[in-house]
Chains A and B, each alone.
Chain A
Amino acid sequence: MPEIFVCNASDLGEGNVKVVAVDDREIGVIRHKGQCYAYLNRCPHQGGPACEGVRMPKVEAVLNEERQFFGHRFSDTEDHIVCPWHGYEFNLDTGNCIGDAALRLKRYDVVERQDSLYVVL
């Protein structure tokens, strides 16, 4: 499978994104909490640049045993990619859309080798 050179691994700092143009596609390569992720930079909603938005933890509702509501909190374990056009959210690990399981961002593998980052097409 062809690999696309993105940048030197050290050039993609924590929390940053490189957007790589390959033919008529753009792929966003994201470093988040030390991990690298790559997704097609095109949102399944209206085609927005999904990788160019913010990453945010999932928001959870806090209920007690009686199902009473005690506010919202940010998840410690699940982070989302948020498309900047309208705010559709996608699980950072899987690319699955939070609001509709039928929608997802196309995911690519990222390889780090000898201080170089590659996206596998």
Chain B
Amino acid sequence: MDMFANNVRDLATEEFDTSTLLKNAARQADARNYDDLFIMDVDSHHYENESFGQIAEYIDDPTVRHLALSKAKIGGGRTNFQPSQIGFQDVGGRVTRYTRRKTEQTPPSPHRDITLARRWMDAMGVDMACLFPTPMLHLGMHPQVEMEVTLARAYNRWLYETVLSEERRICSMLYLPLNDPDASIRMIEEFGGKQGVVGFMVTSTRYRPIFDNAYMKVYRMLEERGLPLSFHAGYNWFDQSMSQLNRFISVHALGFTVFNMIHLTNWIVNGLPERFPKLKVMWIESGLAWLPFLMQRLDSEYMMRSSEAPLLKRRPSEYIADMYYSSQPMEMVHNRKALEVTFEMLKAETQLLYASDYPHWDMDLPSTIYDLPFLSKQGKRNILGETALKLFNIEPVWSEKKLRAREAKARAAGVGAEVGA
């Protein structure tokens, strides 16, 4: 018996489009009925280097602006104006959005990054997203501290004016140039209350220890203003230990956890949670598996060497379990038991926040959380969005797609009720 297909697509002629690439994500969202579930993605990205010419226009110092604009002309958007890394994120062309994304068509307005973000957010069922840069994640290693400050401010101003003030579904924890504490203070003062600024982000690949006394005024200011501080993981293949690794898989697996392990260890052992008890701290993109390791390791050592961490009043793991973590990349897909224990250890139902990391290669869909059998219904709601609303102290902005779907459902129910009456 012959049957006919509903539709046949020919990939040889199909243009690249985020919505098409993610149509299976949209099917998952429909199948799980995310329409009534608020979803916030606390770690997603854009490629700010593609707008480098625009960002360069926001550089205050005319001589640096001139350098940057000159680079923008040479590089056509890809520049070596800031530290960069060897990396093979596209897995040799296997993760196709890296090579094909530049061909994707977008209208002249709004800004391309808003259009692309809306496409993937709508496909995944995400209402709001916290957007971070990509190459700038290495900016903390710039040998000229003043360049980190200059570029951070230009980027923050550009992001605010071009994206955050134009699209309420997108927010960001703005780049904090921590190598210069005074400039960090100025950044918080300038941007702290602006629309879409829900906190500040420190790129973790950096080498000035975060317990430095010079930073205390930065932490205090964030604590007083109720603004969360996050550490976004990254790698540095040029680091002396990392340079022993001969594959990107190794550098990525270790690099994205090691810097956050160092900073979190310094944060706890130096008693920063006791010094700033109300400061909300979030650790981004190190996955989850590092946390049970660090909790056990630090607790064990602390019991024998508490004299070296006299500010602590509790075990290190208890402080760790009071902090916030983004969920991606969620490991241990082959061992549900280990995953469940990890969720318990870090009090995931109140401390974990869903993150996609889209469009990067190891992105996670909301279903990675939604489908977990061991979470309570409220726990899922918290991880997928409600904890983020509390942490950032913001009101939800629902996707237009979900609002339309809910209106249609309500209308249908109303008609049904009338017919029934």
Say whether B8 contacts A47, CB under 8 Å. no
Set B2, B10, B93, B363: member contacting A54, Cβ < 8 A: B93
Closest to B333 in A: A45
Q: How far is the CA of A82 from the CA of B91 in the complex (A)?
A: 10
Q: How far is the CA of A49 from the CA of B361 in the complex (A)?
A: 15
Closest to A48 in B: B24
Given the known inter-chain contacts A2-B2, A86-B361, please indicate yes or no for A46 contacting B367, CB distance below 8 A.
yes
Q: Which residues of B contact A86 (CB under 8 A)?
A: 95, 361-363
Interface residues of B in 45-71 (CB under 8 A from A): none
Residue among A3, A17, A46 with max Cβ neighbours from chain B (10 Å): A46
Given the known inter-chain contacts A5-B5, A48-B24, A54-B93, please indicate yes or no for A18 contacting B365, CB distance below 8 A.
no
Set A21, A48, A54: member contacting B5, Cβ < 8 A: A21
A23 on the interface (CB 8 Å rule)?
yes
Q: Mark A36-49, 1 if CB is under 8 A from B, else 0.
A: 00000110001111
B25 on the interface (CB 8 Å rule)?
yes
Residue among B3, B334, B364, B367 with max Cβ neighbours from chain A (10 Å): B3
B11 on the interface (CB 8 Å rule)?
yes
Say whether B8 contacts A20, CB under 8 Å. yes
Interface residues of A in 1-41 (CB under 8 A from B): 2-7, 11, 13, 16-23, 41
Say whether A84 contacts B96, CB under 8 Å. yes
Number of interface residues of B (CB under 8 A): 33
Given the known inter-chain contacts A16-B11, A47-B365, A49-B23, please indicate yes or no for A87 contacting B94, CB distance below 8 A.
yes
Closest to A30 in B: B11
Set A16, A22, A89, A121: member contacting B12, Cβ < 8 A: A16
B21 on the interface (CB 8 Å rule)?
yes
Say whether B12 contacts A19, CB under 8 Å. no
Say whether B2 contacts A118, CB under 8 Å. yes
Closest to A119 in B: B5
Total A-B residue contacts, Cβ distance less than 8 Å: 91
B1 on the interface (CB 8 Å rule)?
yes
Say whether A84 contacts B91, CB under 8 Å. no
Say whether B6 contacts A22, CB under 8 Å. yes
Say whether B94 contacts A4, CB under 8 Å. no
Q: Which residues of A contact B365 (CB under 8 A)?
A: 46-47
Say whether B93 contacts A7, CB under 8 Å. no
Q: Which residues of B contact A54 (CB under 8 A)?
A: 93-94, 96
Q: Which residues of B contact A56 (CB under 8 A)?
A: 92, 94
Q: Which residues of B contact A115 (CB under 8 A)?
A: none
A65 on the interface (CB 8 Å rule)?
no
Interface residues of A in 35-73 (CB under 8 A from B): 41-42, 46-49, 52-54, 56
Say whether B24 contacts A17, CB under 8 Å. no
Set B2, B10, B25, B92: member contacting A18, Cβ < 8 A: B10
Report the minimal beta-carbon distance from B31 to chain A, rounded to whole angstroms.
9
Report the minimal beta-carbon distance from B198 to chain A, rounded to whole angstroms.
27
User: Can you list 19 A-B contacts with CB-CB less than 8 angstroms, sorted by A residue number?
Assistant: A4-B4, A6-B5, A7-B8, A11-B10, A16-B10, A18-B10, A20-B7, A21-B5, A21-B7, A21-B9, A23-B6, A47-B24, A47-B25, A47-B365, A53-B96, A54-B94, A84-B21, A84-B97, A85-B363
Question: Would you list the 4 A-B pairs with minimal beta carbon distance, nearest first?
Answer: A84-B96, A21-B6, A19-B9, A20-B5
Question: B residues within 8 Å of A by Cβ?
Answer: 1-12, 21, 23-25, 27-28, 91-97, 334, 361-365, 367-368
15 additional A-B pairs beyond A5-B4, A21-B7, beta carbons within 8 Å, are: A3-B1, A3-B3, A4-B4, A5-B5, A17-B12, A18-B9, A18-B10, A19-B8, A20-B8, A21-B6, A22-B5, A22-B6, A46-B365, A47-B367, A54-B93
Question: A residues within 8 Å of B by Cβ?
Answer: 2-7, 11, 13, 16-23, 41-42, 46-49, 52-54, 56, 82, 84-87, 89, 100, 118, 121
